[in-house]
Structure 1
Amino acid sequence: MSDVTDAIVVGVDGSEEALDAVRWAALVAARRNLRLHLASGFDASLGLYGDGVPISPDYFQTAEAVAQDELASAARLAEETAAGVRIEAERAHLAPVPLLLEHSRSARMIVLGASGRGGFEGMLVGSTAVSLAAHGSCPVVVVRPDREGPVVAGVDGSPNSVAALETAFDEAAWRRVPLVAVHSWSDAGYMAQQPIESALLAGEPDEDEQARVLAESLAGRQEKYPDVRVERVVVKARPRHALLDWSERASLVVVGSRGRGGFRGLLLGSTSQALIQHAKCPVMVVHPQG
């Protein structure tokens, strides 16, 4: 398996969505002087008919030829998008999800199209993107139409959102755009997270208290990134609704893999899932290191 340490890895499967991911990743790789690694996986189970009857070897030869053509087309597109970007291509005899999960251990980020070639009509996001967003070790970007705008970070005070906020500052600094730090809550969501006795005593959460959570999360980071202008947004709404609204005017939304309200062992929170399914701009899902 190829060494992808500090590379940007893109999953390639010949779909238009994957080519959108190649364009997006090529620009990021060129801007940051990183290698662009195009990865294509092969699911051996596709070589079987029903009841485990193997398909003719000719099928595999055809599939390999098609995959190599797809990788070559993706490489040409990357070069046309960002001339001079360092490009590597890999065709691995390993299913796409295990291949990309392994690469996520050392890659700078994994970039995927919103849905792949195997998606059903009307499917909003592919199973590969969902699996990587849930289980990946590095930031995972699900690419949707790109636009100019600020980087938006979802902040809730959890360890996952702290990691996402640090990454969002870095993204905003590279892009030279403002950072919008959004902390949102709703009464229903807040009360559901509290023990019954505490919830009855606490009543409606105080907006000043919510602003304090955001301020504590931002503490020290603005000094580290003095050139990043920060807009603080504290809004009484469900986080997914607030961030989906911001996705219509952002260049990137950055969230933790799961937030403060997640159950122990939950790999992908409801807010992250909603964003990778419905956001109007690229979404980056960040996992806390260690």
Structure 2
Amino acid sequence: MVSCSMRYSSLSLMAPVSPLVGPYTEVMSEGTPSRPVVVGYDSSEMAGRAVTWAAGAAERMGVPLRVIAARENDAQPVRSAEALDAVRRTHPDLPASGEDPVGTGAGVMVRAGDDATMLVMGNRGRGRITSAFLGTVSMTTAQHAACPVVIIHGDTATDAAPRSIVVGADGSASSTAALDFALSLVAAGGTITLLLCWSTMPQDSTDPVPAVAYAMLEQTLAGRSKPGVGIDLVARPGHPRNVLVTASETADLMVVGRRGQEGFKGLKLGTVAQHALMGARCPVAVVTAPPAVTEQR
């Protein structure tokens, strides 16, 4: 089996570089209401890292930060204030607010996503620190939220812009949306790796695997670029579960579409997204295609 790569750099493209335009840049347009970055908080160490990551993203995007600390009942303690104190020490100029609604964590976060730029959460919360599995609240939120959901993994998440982003690609509308999201977050001088992996090919295909793979990568790229950002097109053999986990070990962020080519109407989370969420070693963003595109599938 072969592994091939091709690199595009916005500094060396023959055609003029176009400014990034997409669903994740509208929050920065003049006169457009600013949808906040919403972060879930429960006083756990992982939730604290999520707040740090979310504060950095909100400040760079020029939108407010909203901290939500859901409670099962009124008797449970109010926690959002401690997160806000930490944010104000490190990001004093960032507009930030907090709330402690009563309700299930997943239900509260999914509803908050209806009016958010993105949702940010730790991969496990209080009481689940030693679990080997992704927290139920995080997985459910990633399945159902209307906006991108970023799940924080590992202990290296910071408030700095990600310089190395891996985007899972398969030619679907969701993977195109994932690339748009990555372009909106990547640091100046950073690199995006558009990664496609395969374990089987269509029986009627007569083209070499790399040719088919790169056609799908080019379809996802569709001329997108961002000044100063390199884009690598990479095709690798292997199961997405293994390829994505390996790629995440050296990435600052991984972005995947909620549904891939295997998706059908009503499916909430594709297998590639599930593998990324369960095994990645870096923060993972799950992005869905705009409704008008998704409904055409």
- 1:196 maps to what in 2? none
Distance in 1 (alpha carbons) for counterparts of 2:88 and 2:245: 32
Mark the structure with the bigger radius of gyration.
1
- 2:141 maps to what in 1? 132
- 2:277 maps to what in 1? 276
Q: 1:202-238 CA deviation, whole Å, 9 max, x = no partner?
A: 378632121111112112212xx23321111111222
Unaligned 5+ segments in structure 2 are 1-32, 292-297
Give 3-state SS (helix, strand or coil) of 1:202's partner: coil
Give 3-state SS (helix, strand or coil) of 1:146's partner: coil
> 1:240-255 to 2 correspondence within 5 Å?
240-255=241-256
Superposition TM-score, scaled by structure 2 size: 0.79
How many Å apart are 1:42 and its aligned residue?
2.3
Does residue 1:184 correspond to 2:187, yes or no? Answer: no
Distance in 1 (alpha carbons) for counterparts of 2:206 and 2:240: 19
Give 3-state SS (helix, strand or coil) of 2:116's partner: coil
Q: 1:83-130 CA deviation, whole Å, 9 max, x = no partner?
A: 322110111123221211111111000000110114263233211110
1:218 counterpart (204, 218, 221): 221
Distance in 1 (alpha carbons) for counterparts of 2:290 and 2:39: 21
Kindly indicate whether the alpha-carbon contact (under 8 Å) linking 1:109 and 1:141 is maintained by their aligned counterparts in 2: yes
Amino acid at match of 2:279: H
> 1:72-83 to 2 correspondence within 5 Å?
72-83=81-92
- 1:206 maps to what in 2? 209
Most deviating of 226-235 and 202-211 = 202-211
Unaligned 5+ segments in structure 1 are 45-59, 192-198
Give 3-state SS (helix, strand or coil) of 1:88's partner: strand
Kindly indicate whether the alpha-carbon contact (under 8 Å) linking 1:137 and 1:289 is maintained by their aligned counterparts in 2: no
Taking every aligned residue pair, what percent have the same amino acid on both sides?
31
- 1:107 maps to what in 2? 116
Does residue 1:92 correspond to 2:106, yes or no? Answer: no
Kindly indicate whether the alpha-carbon contact (under 8 Å) linking 1:150 and 1:251 is maintained by their aligned counterparts in 2: yes
Distance in 2 (alpha carbons) for counterparts of 1:264 and 1:33: 34
Matched positions, count:
254
Kindly indicate whether the alpha-carbon contact (under 8 Å) linking 2:34 and 2:63 is maintained by their aligned counterparts in 1: no
How many Å apart are 1:5 and its aligned residue?
5.3
Superposition TM-score, scaled by structure 1 size: 0.81
Distance in 1 (alpha carbons) for counterparts of 2:214 and 2:93: 45
Give 3-state SS (helix, strand or coil) of 1:102's partner: helix
Does residue 1:36 correspond to 2:37, yes or no? Answer: no
- 1:21 maps to what in 2? 50
Distance in 2 (alpha carbons) for counterparts of 1:157 and 1:274: 18
Kindly indicate whether the alpha-carbon contact (under 8 Å) linking 2:34 and 2:64 is maintained by their aligned counterparts in 1: no
Distance of aligned partners of 1:43 and 1:179 in 2 relative to their CA distance in 1, 3 Å threshold:
same
Distance of aligned partners of 1:164 and 1:212 in 2 relative to their CA distance in 1, 3 Å threshold:
same
Distance in 1 (alpha carbons) for counterparts of 2:60 and 2:114: 22
Distance of aligned partners of 1:242 and 1:146 in 2 relative to their CA distance in 1, 3 Å threshold:
same
Distance of aligned partners of 1:221 and 1:97 in 2 relative to their CA distance in 1, 3 Å threshold:
same
Distance in 1 (alpha carbons) for counterparts of 2:129 and 2:250: 28
Distance in 1 (alpha carbons) for counterparts of 2:205 and 2:100: 56
Does residue 1:146 correspond to 2:156, yes or no? Answer: yes
- 2:10 maps to what in 1? none
User: Where is the helix percentage greater, Structure 1 or Structure 2?
Assistant: 1
Distance in 1 (alpha carbons) for counterparts of 2:98 and 2:109: 13
Distance in 2 (alpha carbons) for counterparts of 1:23 and 1:93: 24
- 2:287 maps to what in 1? 286
